[in-house]
Amino acid sequence: MANTTKAPERTKAVYRLEGTLLEACSCDVLCPCWIGEDPDGGECYGIVAYHFSKGEIDGVDVSGLNLVNINHIPGNVLTPGSWRVVMLVDAAATEKQRDALVRAFTGKLGGPLADLAGLVGELRGIEIVPIRHEISGGRGVLRIDGILEAEMSPYTGPDGSTTTLRDSIFSTVPGSPAYVAKASRNRFSFPKYGLHWQYEGRNAIQSDYRMEHLQ
């Protein structure tokens, strides 16, 4: 039979997300959230900010949207159920888009995101907030009015060029650079969850992100 008719797609993407991932930790260069050790100050916060430049979840287009996970690791990183997460979903998303993002990142759609969601002990809450994610190449601002404000700039070489770790192990997408940035300001306050921090001059890494689940 001639190959004129398009064969039905055998694999369907449950979700396919592309964009950047920015992660910063409250515990200075090193996060002492380790074996039997309590983190500095008794706890450790990590921000994981996703920006999806292109994405589709269960047939819903989520391109251009943001999601921020506030990971709160109260003690030992390996203690089952010790990770507590507050999920912040972009207010720019429609109800359908929000639902798709939440279902994917809480693991309801299976795949690698479900495997990772399995590491979380408690999802403390999901909040719909306006997220301004204007960081690219390790430079810019991440702002959630009244809650989070982070400003960062990449490390630069002696000649003023941006330090990238091209083709490096720091990046998930082969051939794309990862940017090591210094967060000059990082303020977070969310009284509802009893979360507060403020620090300066900590490291952050921004790298390309890709996550997909085919069925």
Q: What is the DSSP string of 35-82?
A: TT-PPGGG-EEEEEEEEEEEEEETTEE-TT-EEEEEEEE-S-TTSTT-
Distance CA 67, CA 89 (A): 5
Q: Which is nearer to other proteins, 118 or 194 (CB)?
A: 118
Structure token pair of residue 18: 């592309």
Closest distance between other proteins and the C-beta of residue 145, in Å?
25
Smallest gap from residue 2 Cβ to other proteins (A): 34
* Virtual torsion, Cα 193, 123, 87, 191, nearest 10 deg: 0
Smallest distance, other proteins to C-beta of residue 81, A = 11
Looking at beta carbons only, is 43 or 91 nearer to other proteins?
43
Q: Which residue number, 42 or 191, has a Cβ lying nearer to other proteins?
A: 42
Interface with other proteins (CB under 8 A): 21, 23, 25, 28-40, 46, 48, 71, 73, 76-80, 83, 111-112, 114-116, 118-119, 169-170, 172, 180, 203, 205, 207, 209, 211-213
Q: Which is nearer to other proteins, 7 or 157 (CB)?
A: 157
Q: Judge whether 69 and 85 are in contact, CB under 8 Å.
A: yes
Q: Which of 38/58 has CB closer to other proteins?
A: 38
Q: Find tokens 């949207």 and name the residue.
A: 65
Rounded Cα gap, residues 132 and 149, in angstroms = 10
Q: How far is the CB of 35 from other proteins (least distance, A)?
A: 5
